[in-house]
Structure 1
Amino acid sequence: MSAVHAANAVPSTADAADTITTGSWRPIELAGTFDYEGNRLAYTEYGAGDDVVVLTHGIMFTRRMHAPLARELAARGYRVVTLDLLGHGESERPAESWRYSMPDFARQTLALLDHLGLGAAVVGGTSLGANVALEVAIVAPERVKGLVVEMPVLDNAVVAGLLTFGPLLFAARFLPWTVRAVGALARLVPHGNQWADVVTDTLDQQPAAMAALLHGVFFGRIAPPKSVRGDIAVPALVIGHERDPVHPFGDADTLAADLPGAEFVQARSPVELRLDPTRLTEAIAGFVGRCYSR
């Protein structure tokens, strides 16, 4: 642990209610913050060791969504770091849309590695986080041991994404009181259940920041183009599923075909890793182990 990190690290209050025990051993959990271009970004570390995994979340979600997977990997001897990207969770939420883009989210992830004094890691994420992982592999392939890409959002998802998030953007811009009202109701829900907390975290938004986030993401570069994806040579585990227009099976299947070192796993549903995680957790742990030659 770097001296800077040790100074900033504190026991995680965001995840304290979710802490679980693996047998008689409980992974260390530390929360910290660091500065990125004048904005504070928040993260949580699970476990310790030289083999590192970094996980980022879906759009409007928070790092809490990856807490169960992070704990499971930490119990297997990995150091896992979950990051709240700018505009999410406990990180700052500026109201300027130009601050939000997939390439900049990738730079935030690399800044986290710099802050922790880490050379390279397995980088993974879900939905927005999956695309961020791809961008990291393009910007700094030497710092990526492998990619865990769950539910990527490529060309086939653009229209469905706009139809899904367009009304949210409209509400945040022109009916901000609705966003504030939903957030106020979400804050009334008691914390303590992992997935109830994930949902309430997602509903607790700030109208101006939410509008800026959605505008910046959906009117910028959603994902690396096909002409670039073939240059991503690091090992990759791509997880996709059917029956979800925002994360269509065709996008995951296409991505797996585009990446020279990809393995593909088909999930049974969008929530398998959340509600019935054993099979996919084993697949992810096995892939991370191969990345580190375990």
Structure 2
Amino acid sequence: MGRAALASEQVGQVLVEGRRGRDRLEFTEYGAGEAWVVLLPPLLVPRSVHDHAARTLAAAGLHVLVLDPLGHGGSDRPADPLSYSITAFAEQVVALLDAVGAARAVVGGSSLGANVALEVAVRAPERVAGLLLDGPVLDNALTAQLAVLGPAMYAARFAPLPLSLLRLASRPVPSRLLPAWLRLARETLDQRPGTVAAVIHGVLFGRLAPTPAEREAITARTLVLSRPRDPFHPAGDAEQLAREIPGAVLERAEMPLEWRRRPERLDLVVARFARECSRGSLRARRTRSS
């Protein structure tokens, strides 16, 4: 699939109840119609990481929402670890669906965003038309993830100056002058140390994923994308998940970060899957209403 056709895009916000009152979440909406898709970014990465995928899916006729969970991108960023968890992020996805009036959606994410999608399927299965899980983080990934996230949390909490300097250094160049990957890197570095420490603390000391028994009970159609030679998202985790969820389909990437570097093949796979899930969901809804 070549360059995605133009589709309408607009930024929106939704308010959710949090520990300190109402928190504001920001999202981008692409396309239109009743066939909904929600995409979630990796931990501490802004939603713009999914810009290309969202535009491609919207060009294929889907109505796509890309959410910045609390503590990410343009959403509020409280420095309270108790505000953050995979479970809380899943509740925010349901709140987003409620806010836009979407009864069901294909819910997908990358890395720990995939774990959030899994949690939505367990907590609110009636809202999930399908699951798109790119590089989920399970037992095989924990050592590598902890090796990065643990020191990052420590540095943000006790030695925040380098992170603050990186944030300041990334600001002078206008975004429009940067290639897409540098814009994403700059947005990712635009972090307050207190928020970084709080997000990592809340996620690491909470529930990272549904239990194996809960995963085996998932009934939503599921597409799992595995990544070769990626220690942070081992193929073994994706393969395990594909075995656990009944009827799940495993799609192996042909190279590391294929969906980012050369997305055309996986764009076709993902768009076909999302359309099939959405058609089934719309048919079921019309049958119930007739």
- Superposition TM-score, scaled by structure 1 size: 0.90
Give me the whole-angstrom Cα distance separating, in 2, the residues matched to 1:212 and 1:283.
36
Match of 1:116 in 2: 100
Q: Which runs of 5+ in 2 are unaligned?
A: 281-290
Deviates further, 118-127 or 193-202: 193-202
> Which residue in the other structure is 2:214 paired with?
228
Q: Which runs of 5+ in 1 are unaligned?
A: 1-19
Percent identity among equivalent residues? 47
Pair 283,21 (structure 1): closer, same or farther in 2 beyond 3 Å? closer
Q: Corresponding residue for 2:234?
A: 248
2-structure distance, mates of 1:63, 1:261: 29
Q: In structure 1, how many angstroms separate the alpha carbons of the residues matched to 2:4 and 2:95?
A: 31
- Other structure's SS at 1:187 match: coil
Cα distance in 2 between the residues matched to 1:82 and 1:175:
32
The equivalent of 2:170 in structure 1 is 186
Query: Per the alignment, in what secondary structure is the counterpart of residue 130 of structure 2?
Result: strand
Amino acid at match of 1:186: S
Q: 2:193 aligns with which of 207, 215, 225?
A: 207
Greater relative contact order structure (CA < 8 Å, 6+ sep): 2
Number of aligned residues = 272
How far has the Cα of 1:21 moved from its partner? 6.5
Please list the CA deviations of residues 36-74 of structure 1 after superposition, one character each: whole Å capped at 9, or x if unmatched.
111100000001011010000001101101011110111
Aligned to 2:214, what secondary structure does the other structure show? helix
Structure 1: which 4+ aligned runs deviate by more than 4 Å? none
The Cα offsets for residues 109-133 of structure 1, whole Å up to 9 and x where unpaired, read as 0000011011110000001110000
Helix, strand or coil at the partner of 1:90: coil
* Partner in structure 1 of residue 58 of structure 2: 74
Contact 2:62–2:275 (CA under 8 A) maintained in structure 1 = no
Amino acid at match of 1:52: W
Quote the residue 1:11 is aligned against: none
Q: CA RMSD in A?
A: 1.2
Task: Tell me the amino acid that sits aligned with residue 65 of structure 2.
Answer: V
| Residues 84-123 of structure 1 aligned to structure 2 (within 5 Å) | 84-123=68-107
Q: In 2, Cα distance between the equivalents of 1:177 and 1:265?
A: 42
What's 2:288 paired with?
none
Asked if 1 retains the 8 angstrom alpha-carbon contact of 2:35 and 2:279, the reply is no
**TM-score calculated relative to the size of structure 2:** 0.91
Verify the 8 A CA contact 1:157 1:248 in the aligned structure 2.
Answer: yes
Residue 190 of structure 1 and its aligned partner are, at CA, apart by 2.9
Matches within 5 A, 1:1-294: 22=5, 26-37=6-17, 38-192=22-176, 193-293=179-279
Partner letter of residue 222 of structure 1? Answer: L
- What amino acid is the match of 2:268? E
Matched AA of 1:102 = I
Answer whether contact 1:47 1:80 (CA < 8 A) is retained. Answer: yes
Residues of 2 paired with 1:248 and 1:188: CA distance? 37
User: How far, CA to CA, are the matches of 2:145 and 2:130 in structure 1?
Assistant: 27
- Cα distance in 2 for residues equivalent to 1:271 and 1:191: 23
